[in-house]
Amino acid sequence: MTPSEQPPEETFCLTCGPDTVLERKGAVLHCPRCGTREPVPDFPLYVVTGASGAGKTTITEPLRRALPGCDVFDTDIILQVATLGWDTWRNTWLRLAHGIALNGRVTILCGSLLPSQLETLPARKLVGPIRFCTLDCPDTVLADRLRRRPSWRGTSTEDAIARHQRFAAWLRAHIQPCYDTSQLTPDETAVRIATWIIRSMDDAGATPPAAN
* Length, in residues, of the chain: 212
Question: Cβ of residue 22: shortest distance to Zn ion, in angstroms?
Answer: 8
Of 92, 63, 193, which Cα lies nearest the Cα of 136? 193
C-beta separation of 196 from 133 below 8 A: yes
C-beta separation of 192 from 199 below 8 A: no
Compare residues 11 and 60 and give the one whose CB is closer to Zn ion. 11
Compare residues 34 and 79 and give the one whose CB is closer to Zn ion. 34
Question: Cβ of residue 34: shortest distance to Zn ion, in angstroms?
Answer: 3
Compare residues 20 and 112 and give the one whose CB is closer to Zn ion. 20
Of 69, 78, 76, 34, which Cα lies nearest the Cα of 198? 69
Element spanning 131, H or E: strand 130-136
C-beta separation of 82 from 164 below 8 A: no
Question: Cβ of residue 10: shortest distance to Zn ion, in angstroms?
Answer: 14
Compare residues 15 and 140 and give the one whose CB is closer to Zn ion. 15
Element spanning 116, H or E: helix 115-119
φ, ψ for residue 33 (rounded to 5)?
-95, -55
Query: What residues numbered 17-36 form the site for Zn ion, per CB under 5 A?
Result: 31, 33-34, 36
Number of residues that bind Zn ion (CB under 5 A): 7
Query: What residues numbered 157-196 form the site for Zn ion, per CB under 5 A?
Result: none
- Selected binder of Zn ion within 13, 106, 108, 194 (CB under 5 A): 13
Query: What residues numbered 31-60 form the site for Zn ion, per CB under 5 A?
Result: 31, 33-34, 36
Question: Cβ of residue 116: shortest distance to Zn ion, in angstroms?
Answer: 30
Give me the residues that bind Zn ion (CB under 5 A), please.
Answer: 13, 15-16, 31, 33-34, 36
